[in-house]
Amino acid sequence: MSTPDSSSRRQLLKRIALAASAAALASTSLRAADQPLISVDEPEAKAVKYVEDGSKVKEAMGNRCDTCSLYQGKDGSKQGGCQLFKGKGVTAAGWCTAWAPQM
Ligand code: SF4
């Protein structure tokens, strides 16, 4: 059985955890927007056949970075981070062979 003190302590801890998560998420989004775009000529981009415009690649079948579960850009953004490329961004319209659907 919980006492009023333990209940309010739990609530406080939940709020602190939520605030920390929100701050981390906001920080990640800001960093992703500031990242330079990866070049299609870089080895890690070539390894997954990354292109800046997936609409020009039949293999993409209409999929794009902004519909990929590894994309870190905000909704409606023109570019954002990708979990594959640390410190580099990708275009929202881009695509690569590692594309995975969002859940
Ligand atoms: Fe784009 Fe997803 Fe490939 Fe990253 S993993 S480059 S977000 S398609």
**pLDDT values of the chain reduced to their tens digit, one per residue, 103 residues:** 555 566 666 664 556 454 455 445 455 555 556 799 999 999 999 999 999 999 999 999 999 999 999 999 999 999 999 999 999 999 999 999 999 999 9
Whether 45 and 88 map to the same domain: the answer is yes
Residues 6+ apart with CB under 8 A from 51: 40, 57, 60, 94, 95, 96
Q: What share of the chain is helix, strand, coil (3-state, %, to 5)?
A: 45, 15, 40
Whether 78 and 95 map to the same domain: the answer is yes
Whether 7 and 40 map to the same domain: the answer is no
User: What is the SS3 assignment for 22?
Assistant: helix
Whether 47 and 26 map to the same domain: the answer is no
Whether 22 and 49 map to the same domain: the answer is no
The model's pTM is 0.71
Whether 20 and 58 map to the same domain: the answer is no
Whether 49 and 20 map to the same domain: the answer is no
- The token pair at 11 is 């609530």
Ligand 1 atom at minimum distance from 54 CA = 8
Whether 25 and 42 map to the same domain: the answer is no
Number of domains the chain is built from: 2
Sign of CA dihedral 86, 88, 89, 94: negative
Ligand 1-lining residues (CB < 6 angstroms): 48, 50, 65, 68, 70-71, 82, 84, 90, 94-96, 98-99
Please tell me the predicted confidence (pLDDT) of residue 34. 76
Whether 44 and 72 map to the same domain: the answer is yes
